[in-house]
Amino acid sequence: MAALARIRSVKLTGGVNVPLEFIMLVFAALPAIVPLLAQGYLRGADYMDTPWRSLELLEALKEGVLFPRWSPDLFYGFGFPIFNFYSPMSFYEVVAMRIIGAPDLLQASKITFALNFLASGIGGYVLARCIGLGRAPAAAAGVLYMYAPSTLRDVYIRSGLASLTGTAFLPFVLTAFVHLCRVRTMTSTAVAALMLSVMILTHNLTSVVALGMIVVIVLVYCWWNHDIRALTPAVLAVALGLGVASFFILPAMTEMPLTHTEKLAAGDLDYRLHFVDPLGEINGTIESRAVDIKYMATRWGAIDLHPAYPYGLPPMKLSLFQGLLVLAFIAALATRRKPSPWIVSSALIAFALFYLHTSWSRWIWESAPLLQAFQFPWRMLEPMGLCVALMGAWGAQSLSRRHETATYAVLSGIAIAAGIWMLPTDLLPFEGGGVQVSRDGLIRHEYRERNRVGTMVDGQFLPLSVQWDEEALQMGDILPRYDATFPPEQWVGQTAFVRPESKAWIMAARRGQLWMEAQLQAGETTKLAFHTVYFAGWTAYVDGKPAAIEPTGWQADSEGRRVALGVLQVSVPAGDHIVRIQFEDTPIRWWSTLLSLASLLVLGSMLVMASRKTIGVRITFIAMAFLLGICLAIRLLLPLVLYTPQWTQHPEVLNLIREAQKVPLEVRMPGGDLSKQAYIQEFAISGEQEGPLRDNQSPARCWNA
């Protein structure tokens, strides 16, 4: 062990030196990563989110849309603004794995889960070293953070990639601000700002906690050292980080009232049901809601007392091993060993987060709407796992006197065993093996899982253009209304629709990720429907001129149950027209994007000024211009090298019109002059008899062809 402790790094092929602790962390992560190599896919509560959202992001990138606020294939193919509200960075990682060489999105998702799990351990190690822990205790801190029950739960129990990615990135952000407090330069300020902006784009809720942790770290450092000079660069870094991410933050905050945000705390998602009583029993409603998985943790107290953590129905508790780490920290303090301000900050944050996940903090949750967006108080245990890991590693370092390396090896081994012993790591066939990660598979899945809307539960962030009688209808009851009002077989190219009784024909249609277009021949003013629901940003054009949008309003069925489907409609005058709808930026999106670009310009200028003495101004500007040129080339060439959507034509209509133009024939819609009605199956076109239409199709018709 002593010889191993003296090894600083390992030289890999190519002369790259890798710290020995990184190699050790890779081996330590294997017990949790190896199960991902098996056939099948994760089975957690959010297991579908990662491949479906990654698919939507990949399809958008194929059209050159770098940040899609609208995902057209979610919500049963009618579209959903998922990335307008939900941080997308983790799904970019999946797409990157797919582009690099993963065989499909499922394998790319599993690779991304594994890499982020490992990154959480490396991040814990980097942060521990930055706050002054030795090599061995820092490596132990990385293992403790990796194998915290909340981190493992993000992989195998929840299968929530965004949450896991936020957990992995959190220590790197804190490291940047710890370094900024010590080294107050423009470079460290810019790096901290960039790290914070990436954190915000990785996971919404973890970034909120990260901001609170940054505030505590900076204030404790200033108070501890009686020096407030760290405040200015820290405030500047936070402001610039928020500015860079403002293209996401501001629209997400200002446009939330345009969606069903009341669903964030509805039913089982009510935060009041998920507190842990430190001195009492769990909420009795928890076990009554159990279906496939039971509540496994000890019923009393705030800490689970099983030697190995029993994963089950939330709310979660701290594990017994984490509780012992806290006791070791308290014992180390009792020895009167003076901790660093960073350890004091970790302790303060840990106890604050612990308090917020207990029923004692209910009064705070009820008075703070921002906290209610967390839905589950046990989310606080995820960042708390980092603090407990640092506290435990520092406590062990303070208490140990001999055989330190062996002590931390045993500590890491216990953490791995206690974390993974009862963890269900077996994989299952993806959707029973019958559905692939495709647009059709996504729609079929949402039809089957009627409470999953746009990969969110119970209609969260569904546009307000979709309304329903809450007492009479559930989300799953609404789906048949779409099919009844807009029969699937009557959509042309899954894009455009006119009612059977209208005096109009859709000649052709085509669509992209953020636009739809149709060629229409109308004998009178007609409402043309597009296969999407209305949300702020959809804009309509008739022959290139702006037109009004009319979402479908309230309807009642035979039982009097009302629903507003919100399908986007455009009123089109008589004649031949090309109608186009396009999802565009609202004023807040435009201005927030401008603010992000301005913040990036400030950061770039800071880095240029900081690098003048090291690499020279000329080389710096050349490098920045080169990177900018690459970005512009990708943006301009990406749509050209991929695909261009083609028109989906209505062949029966075109054949009928061509034939009608050759002979003195007038074809009218059903309900007009019965003697002059015409059906496709009654015509011989080009010498061939057209076969009858399918039973579920309406006969083709044309007005005054």
State pLDDT tens for residues 58-106: 989 888 888 999 999 888 889 999 999 999 999 999 999 999 988 889 9
Q: How many helices (H) and strands (E) does the chain have?
A: 25, 18
Q: Are 159 and 44 in contact (CB under 8 A)?
A: yes
- Whether residue 638 is predicted with pLDDT greater than 70 in this model: the reply is no
Structural domain boundaries, residue 673: 650-705
Domain annotation covers residue 415: yes
Looking at 362, 393, 420, the residue that finishes a domain is 420
Residues 605 and 663 reside in one and the same domain = no
Please state, in angstroms and rounded to a whole number, the distance separating the CA atoms of residues 338 and 59.
55
Residues 611 and 695 reside in one and the same domain = no
Domain annotation covers residue 428: no
Token digits of residue 281: 């029993």
Domain annotation covers residue 436: no
Residues 158 and 267 reside in one and the same domain = yes
Sheet hosting strand 526-533, strand order edge to edge: 496-497, 526-533, 567-572
Please state, in angstroms and rounded to a whole number, the distance separating the CA atoms of residues 403 and 273.
46
Tell me the pLDDT tens digit for each residue of 373-429: 888 899 999 999 999 999 999 998 888 767 677 888 889 999 999 999 999 998 888
Tell me the pLDDT tens digit for each residue of 219-263: 999 999 988 989 999 999 999 999 999 999 999 999 999 998 877
| Residues 6+ positions from 510 with CB-CB distance below 8 Å | 493, 495, 516, 517, 645, 646, 647, 648
Q: Are 427 and 35 in contact (CB under 8 A)?
A: yes
Residues 551 and 527 reside in one and the same domain = yes
**Percentage of the chain lying above the pLDDT 70 cut:** 79
| Residues 6+ positions from 137 with CB-CB distance below 8 Å | 128, 393, 394, 396, 397, 404, 408
Domain annotation covers residue 135: yes
DSSP state of 55: H
What's the average model confidence in pLDDT over 114-120? 96
- At 310 the pLDDT is 92
Please state, in angstroms and rounded to a whole number, the distance separating the CA atoms of residues 31 and 14.
28
- At 620 the pLDDT is 55
Which H or E element spans position 223?
Answer: helix 204-225
Q: Are 511 and 645 in contact (CB under 8 A)?
A: yes
CA distances from 347 to 66, 316, 415 (A): 40, 20, 20
536: three-class secondary structure by DSSP: coil
Give the residue carrying structure tokens 């435990």. 392
Tell me the pLDDT tens digit for each residue of 18-60: 678 888 899 999 999 999 998 889 888 887 888 889 999 998 9
Domain annotation covers residue 682: yes
Residues 279 and 403 reside in one and the same domain = yes
- At 641 the pLDDT is 43
Q: Is 96 exposed, middle or buried (0-12, 13-18, 19+ CB in 10 A)?
A: middle
| Residues 6+ positions from 42 with CB-CB distance below 8 Å | 109, 110, 113, 155, 156, 159, 427, 428
Residues 326 and 362 reside in one and the same domain = yes
Total domain count, the chain? 3
Residues 512 and 409 reside in one and the same domain = no
* Of 469 and 628, more confident: 469
Give the residue carrying structure tokens 């059977």. 500
* Of 319 and 664, more confident: 319
Please, how many CA atoms are within 13 Å of residue 632, restricted to the half-sphere of its CB? Answer: 6
Ranking 85-99, 129-143, 147-161, 251-265 by mean pLDDT, the lowest is 251-265
Token digits of residue 99: 């582009």
Residues 674 and 628 reside in one and the same domain = no
Domain annotation covers residue 679: yes
Domain annotation covers residue 540: yes
Find the length of the chain. 705
> 30: phi > 0 → left, psi -120 to 50 → alpha, else beta; which?
alpha
Terminal Cα distance for the chain, rounded: 90
Q: Which residues partner with 527 through β-bridges?
A: 571
Q: How far is CA 620 from the centre of its chain?
A: 35
What's the average model confidence in pLDDT over 148-174? 94
Residues 562 and 519 reside in one and the same domain = yes
Residues 345 and 292 reside in one and the same domain = yes
Ranking 65-74, 184-193, 411-420, 439-448 by mean pLDDT, the lowest is 439-448
Residues 214 and 267 reside in one and the same domain = yes
- Whether residue 634 is predicted with pLDDT greater than 90 in this model: the reply is no
Domain annotation covers residue 520: yes
Please state, in angstroms and rounded to a whole number, the distance separating the CA atoms of residues 386 and 391.
9
Q: Which has the closest alpha carbon to 387: 218, 231, 210, 237?
A: 210
Question: CB 613: neighbour CB atoms within 10 A?
Answer: 8
Q: Which has the closest alpha carbon to 86: 74, 104, 103?
A: 74
Mean predicted lDDT score pLDDT of the chain: 82
Residues 337 and 361 reside in one and the same domain = yes
- Whether residue 3 is predicted with pLDDT greater than 80 in this model: the reply is no
Token digits of residue 546: 């702006």
Which H or E element spans position 527?
Answer: strand 526-533
Please state, in angstroms and rounded to a whole number, the distance separating the CA atoms of residues 488 and 696.
9
- At 435 the pLDDT is 59
Q: Which residues partner with 281 through β-bridges?
A: 300
In angstroms, what is the C-alpha Rg of the chain?
A: 29
- At 258 the pLDDT is 93
Looking at 608, 634, 660, the residue that finishes a domain is 634
